[in-house]
Structure 1
Amino acid sequence: MPAEQQFLPLRLQQGLCDNEPTSATWEDEMAPNQQRGLYDAIFEKLVRSEFSQKSFLPQDDFETLITENTIKEELDKVFGTLDSSLAKYIAKKAPRTFATLVIQDKVLKAMNLEKSKFNDDYLPIANEDSVLTSLNGLSRDGYAWKWFNSWRTQEKNDFCEKQWTFLSPIFESNSMMEVLHRDCRLPFITCDSKREGGSFSFVHKATIHHAHHKISSANLVIAIKELRDTAVGADQRELAALDLARQLQHPHIVKFVGGFRQGPTSHLLFKWADGGNLRSYWNNKKNWSRNADLISWTIEQITGLFSALEKWHDLKLSSTPLNGRHGDLKPENILRSLEAQDSRRGIFQIADLGLAKIHSLPTHARNNPSSTLDGTARYKPPEVKAKISRSYDIWSMGCITLEWIIWLVYGIDELKAFHDQACPEDHDPFWSRDSDDHPTHPVVISWMKYMADTCLVDGEQCYSVALRELLIFVRDRLLVPDPVDHDTTDSTQQSNEDSGLSILITTTPDAKSVTSFSGRAKCNESCMKLRKISSTPNDGRNYMYNPKVNMSGPNGRGPSKPTPSKLQVPSPISSSRQEVNGPLDNR
């Protein structure tokens, strides 16, 4: 990388609009003797940062405008004809410094740049207590600072302010968290007002100028997640998980772009999911119909989400295998991207992996509890007070999958009826609080039994054989309590205040050994089952959807009220389940 770029906070390297500055400050500050030329060319290309509320020069325009030839032309206007050595030095070492002098109308001060050896490596600089300091960490003792000896205080301050026009960051494909000065102008050419982004953040929708990111060649629409936790280091609690998720490059995981901390506030950047979330998708009646294509596509999406979760649960990105889990799966954290070119419906992706935890040992072998900020109560499993394992995510996905089946069979009105019966309050889970063993909620069981006995009954009157198989898998393998407390210590889940958004890589050399027990299905088993369900048999023309089944009567409605469950749920400790699940070494 050229030396003149090494000062940049994010590595400078990409416009929905060519907004001119809304204020008249640039024209007002233009000196009476300013000749038309490079100044005007710069001014005409300025773009307004709707996030920072200031103008910046995009990187591609900077490279076009600030060249050795244009620099020499400006120097010749001021000094007459010069040899080319000064222009060569500036073009190679100090183009941003020179551009700042141009918009200051101080090109005359460029005469001693080469002699003093001041260059862009020192930028950005700040005038703190009447002492100029490089914010890039270069020594204050260097000879180069003598370049400013003859400058008046106002000239120094003006330089410090105008330099930011040319220092907007560029987000690389592997950008992480960068600490930016409060005056740094972010290259976001659109930015809406912030909205609630969950319990721990606000979210902006913004657009990164195409010359200021390395994700694609076009303007990039992003979500800016503004973290509420302003404590120093709080942002680091999310970055480890987000970077690992980015390395997976899984199509069903929302892409992490990068982050920045400006002042006391940290921001995380993600590609914008332009199709809303799964909840809003269900609520839009235009998305629902009864046909094989929708059912087939939905099962593909569920399979893809489980596949992403499988990769996340068993991270194999280094020599040390890591075990991850999400901990807050819910329809609001499953977003729909419409970018997928092979599907008019788009693709669903898991979001908020920044709340996740990473461990180098399975749950049952850890001496320290795994906890995080409370996930959404409705989708928590019965063992919520135990260590949060990857099995926690499977229960949550079981809840979501059951809701999806109900939506596919009946539509949004019946899905809302199910919620009114099973979860009248937002904090009501899919399991019963009325007994110590917390079985699956009777209403949940009654709905699964009702569907299995009516529209999804075994035989020719089955509305969808694929959905019946999926329902039975949810009933028997996902929405079943883990029968054993996998913890081997007396530790309990920490409080929110204690745990924060911790992201840990835990090593426990003296971890206690445990015996294998059966439990709900693991991700790999779920993926295999879902792939099998999605593979339509050659002789199954009505496998996904049977148009001959009458769905206009009782078949087209869920149970009107909760009924006592007589649905047989497999014994949680059956030997057959233990054989299917295998050991709990990836819990």
Structure 2
Amino acid sequence: MPATKRLADKYDYSTQSDYSDDASDSDGPGRNSEPSGGSLVDRIFEAEVPSEFDITSSTFVPEGCLDILITRDAVIPELSEGDDYDDASDELDELAIFIERKAKKVFTILVRYMGWEGSKLVRAMRAFKDHDFTDESLPVPRPKAHNPGSHILDSLNPRKGRGLWSAPSIDNFFHSQWRVIVPVFGSFTGSVFHDLGPYHILPFIRRFDSKAASGSFGTVHEYRIHPNHISNQLKIKEISVGVKELRPGHADSWEPAKSWVKEVAVLQQLNTIQHNHIIRCIAAFRRGEPGRKKHYLMFDWADGGNLRDFWKAMPDPTLTPQFLKAVTKQLLGLADAICEFQSKFIRHGDLKPENILWFKNDDPIGTLKIADWGGAVVNTNIATELRGTETVFATRLYEAPEALTGKMFRLNDLWSMGCIMFELVTWLLYGIDGLIELNKEFRKQYAAFYQIERKEGLEVVEVHKVVVKWMDRMTQDPRCQAGATVIGDLLDLIRTRLLVVNLPPGLGALVEFTSQQSSQSPTAVPEIEVWDSDDNIRISVAPKANAERAPATELVLRMQAIYNNNQESYWDVTEQNDNTPLPELELRADESGVPDQPSYLQEDGPPLVGKDNNPPSASVDERGGILDEIRRGITSTARRRMRDLRQIRDLDLKLLGSRRLD
């Protein structure tokens, strides 16, 4: 009995998945890095690896393995079992060459997973050759029970004699094909988008549940991906990746699809930048039955965690010149990244320490990269700009004060960066204990780096008193001498150019992702319309706040000047350290940062902050005072969800339907 038949009878390959971790960690393509000297089916079996993406594990043949295994010399003995062909037969040789060049996967399905041999195998492969049915013809569609005889494989049955393709054999071929057509991810020259059916096997050979992390828009798990299924263009040294599954919306099953399409559109543009401080998207894929697909994004895995994890890893940093230089280099890189993506008319919208990932590498402290683009928007549109973009997902603590108007600007990211840099300076000076104390002060108030007070009949926005008092105390620290030390110049930049409420006349350009864009392909580059400014939109600021917030270009220039300072004393702050204690605030009740019940905080109105509430949509009058129009200005949630539902349905039917693989 041929080896093909023996193995097909012995093993149930649909459930064979109990392998040790050593198999996942091996350097080779499958169970063994080198094929053994057994039968062809034995060697294919040894090349298989288990996928650990789903609860029920499946095995697959890694890409490229069949190029080694399915050769003319290996195929001819399998074919010669059938009919009375001589091994040197011209027809048999032509069939073997066809298999080697164009039908390795088709041949493997028949031999390895369906157990076909002898004349049946030869007849099937001859029909495939005659009809030019090759590996490029895969996958075949699922057979339809209500319409027998209509499948593409039915057309390959010979006109005379016993048919090869019965309903069970067609079903077997359909389910077996997924083991040899596992997707390969990653390309800078093509689309990152993959639309997968429910039967696609994914090439993740190990999952690390202990390292799962949740963000604003989904949960990220670390996976080890088979190296044969990552494009060589990506030059990935390791094979660990982060896979984010977008979490479902509260009551709208289309919400993940909407968020996914928006984020893919942004990530597609960001991949063209290839910036060292912007996380790279390896792939965006959705998988499942039509209408019930789950949505995923794949990135390089940040082995250090995020910026907050970086701070926790060094609770009491030693401020050597080399360390301060390395930190400043990372801040310069982040500033340059903001400048780069804003030059593409992209606003992140949710910058915070959790969205700045820490990659450990050969750099002294690793590399920090901006991630989590689920709240990003791209493009401007003159017809919809005055409506403003909603900030449902923005993190309140790092949100810019102009978000109260319902308008989103590129300069919002600069405020958020100022908040992050202020926390970083706090960590440099006072360690993790300082950050804990700072966060305690914020928890006593409504959480934001700004506050609103009523002055002369107007509600005025200013930097929060807690932040101001901390910065006042920091300036008394010898390590914070502006112009003399790196920390002093960082603090001065934060105080005078980033944590500044007042905006320049151009407002940093209003941006919005329009409904027209959301009906486009997620990989299409949107059209760009530039809107310069609207001088009628203003926010009242405290009388002393005469400075305007810096744009990203200025932030880069200031950071370059700081980084390029070559004076030794500038970086050596240890001599100035007099063990200055944490700031003692002792705020009075009227200095708590909470105004005397402005209109939007009164009991009969919606709360300003709440886990399940959308941020307020306030407007600004001609004097610049923030007025209470929350109840009148908020769009109906139900109406918005109906609009989103129609958009995503249109997207599925019009754009991606032709690419479904069911």
Q: Which residue of 2 aligns with 1:96?
A: 105
- Post-superposition offset of 1:16: 8.5
Code of the aligned partner of 1:88: I
- Post-superposition offset of 1:479: 0.6
The percentage of aligned residue pairs carrying the same residue is 28
Q: 1:258 and 1:238 mapped to 2: Cα distance?
A: 12
1:166 to 177, 180, 185: 180
Q: Does 1:243 align with 2:259?
A: no
Q: 1:488 and 1:415 mapped to 2: Cα distance?
A: 30
CA contact (8 A) 1:203 1:226 kept: yes
Q: Deviations over 1:241-287 (max 9, x none)?
A: 00111111100011110111111101110000111101111122367
- Post-superposition offset of 1:149: 4.3
Code of the aligned partner of 2:461: H
2:192 to 176, 182, 186: 176
Farther off after superposition, 324-333 or 295-304: 295-304
Q: Which residue of 2 aligns with 1:125?
A: 140
Q: 1:65 and 1:132 mapped to 2: Cα distance?
A: 37
CA contact (8 A) 1:398 1:474 kept: yes
Q: How many residues align?
A: 513
- Post-superposition offset of 1:122: 2.4
CA contact (8 A) 1:279 1:331 kept: yes
2:166 to 142, 152, 167: 152
TM-score normalized with structure 1 length: 0.78
Q: Which residue of 1 aligns with 2:575?
A: 548
- Post-superposition offset of 1:68: 2.4
2:214 to 190, 194, 197: 197
* 1:149 to 1:220, Cα distance in 2 relative to 1, 3 A: same
1:330 to 328, 352, 361: 352
Q: Which residue of 1 aligns with 2:583?
A: 558
- Post-superposition offset of 1:60: 2.5
Code of the aligned partner of 1:156: I
Q: 2:383 and 2:427 mapped to 1: Cα distance?
A: 36
* 1:492 to 1:56, Cα distance in 2 relative to 1, 3 A: closer
2:341 to 312, 329, 344: 312
Q: 1:546 and 1:492 mapped to 2: Cα distance?
A: 41
- Post-superposition offset of 1:76: 1.9
Q: Does 1:210 align with 2:233?
A: no
Q: Which residue of 2 aligns with 1:266?
A: 295
Q: 1:296 and 1:303 mapped to 2: Cα distance?
A: 10
Q: Give the secondary structure class of the aligned counterpart of 1:418.
A: helix
- Post-superposition offset of 1:163: 1.3
Runs of 5+ unmatched residues, structure 2: 1-19, 26-30, 32-36, 539-546, 592-662
CA contact (8 A) 1:385 1:493 kept: no
Q: Which residue of 1 aligns with 2:541?
A: none
- Post-superposition offset of 1:295: 1.4
Code of the aligned partner of 1:349: K
Q: 1:523 and 1:493 mapped to 2: Cα distance?
A: 19
CA contact (8 A) 2:79 2:121 kept: no
Q: Which residue of 2 aligns with 1:571?
A: none
Structural RMSD (CA): 3.8
Q: Give the secondary structure class of the aligned counterpart of 1:128.
A: coil
Q: 1:458 and 1:121 mapped to 2: Cα distance?
A: 67
Q: Give the secondary structure class of the aligned counterpart of 1:375.
A: coil
- Post-superposition offset of 1:514: 4.7
1:253 to 269, 278, 283: 278
Which aligned pairs between 1:287-306 and structure 2 lie closer than 5 A? 288-306=317-335
Which aligned pairs between 1:337-416 and structure 2 lie closer than 5 A? 337-339=359-361, 341=362, 343-360=363-380, 366-386=385-405, 387-416=407-436
* 1:384 to 1:196, Cα distance in 2 relative to 1, 3 A: same
Q: 2:476 and 2:318 mapped to 1: Cα distance?
A: 22
- Post-superposition offset of 1:288: 1.7
Q: Does 1:64 align with 2:68?
A: yes
Code of the aligned partner of 1:530: M
Q: Which residue of 2 aligns with 1:472?
A: 492
Q: Deviations over 1:209-228 (max 9, x none)?
A: 11111123655211101112
CA contact (8 A) 2:480 2:487 kept: no
2:129 to 110, 114, 137: 114
CA contact (8 A) 1:455 1:556 kept: no
Q: 1:411 and 1:284 mapped to 2: Cα distance?
A: 11
Q: 2:156 and 2:296 mapped to 1: Cα distance?
A: 34
Q: Give the secondary structure class of the aligned counterpart of 1:385.
A: helix
* 1:184 to 1:306, Cα distance in 2 relative to 1, 3 A: same
Q: Give the secondary structure class of the aligned counterpart of 1:268.
A: strand
Q: 2:378 and 2:122 mapped to 1: Cα distance?
A: 53
CA contact (8 A) 1:223 1:272 kept: yes
Q: 2:503 and 2:369 mapped to 1: Cα distance?
A: 30
Q: Deviations over 1:62-92 (max 9, x none)?
A: 2111222212222123444343011112222
Q: 2:148 and 2:508 mapped to 1: Cα distance?
A: 55
* 1:514 to 1:283, Cα distance in 2 relative to 1, 3 A: same
* 1:178 to 1:445, Cα distance in 2 relative to 1, 3 A: same
